[in-house]
């Protein structure tokens, strides 16, 4: 039994959380909505995992980096943590990209319509 993979996920989530906290992108902007979005996304991904398990497309492999604890047959605890992390990092990335694109569009408008060919008639 090893906690290495769970520790790596926790470390990565801490980094994403720091980015989120610094720029208030998701959880630190509106915790209720962020938790709902992460929760719903994780539920969909776990449902897809369960379908893959039921159809024989996903089986638990043997890894020295995992705990070996299964929530259900062929569904390790690490998968649930990874799915939640994936949903969170996706939300932070999309919100960050949206903010950057909005800032870029605002900068172009202030320059005199550079996005519309320089503003020349």
pTM of the model: 0.87
pLDDT tens digits for 98-116?
A: 999 999 998 888 777 655 5
Return all residues near 62 (Cβ < 8 A) that are at least 6 apart: none
Q: Element (H or E) spanning 83, and its range?
A: helix 77-110
Would you say 95 and 26 are in contact if contact means Cβ atoms under 8 Å apart?
yes
Nearest to 3 by CA among 83, 72, 76: 76
pLDDT tens digits for 2-42?
A: 999 999 999 999 999 999 999 999 999 999 999 999 999 99
Delimit the domains of the chain by residue range.
4-107
């Amino acid at each position: 039994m090893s906690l290495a993979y769970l520790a790596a996920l926790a470390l990565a989530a801490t980094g994403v959380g720091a980015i989120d906290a610094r720029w208030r992108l998701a959880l630190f902007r509106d915790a209720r909505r962020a938790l709902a979005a992460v929760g719903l996304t994780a539920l969909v991904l776990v449902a897809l995992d369960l379908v893959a398990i039921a159809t024989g497309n996903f089986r638990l492999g043997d890894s020295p980096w995992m705990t070996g604890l299964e929530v259900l047959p062929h569904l390790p605890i690490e998968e649930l943590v990874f799915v939640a992390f994936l949903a969170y990092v996706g939300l932070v990335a999309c919100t960050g990209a949206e903010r950057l694109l909005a800032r870029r569009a605002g900068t172009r408008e202030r320059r005199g319509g550079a996005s519309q060919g320089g503003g020349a008639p």
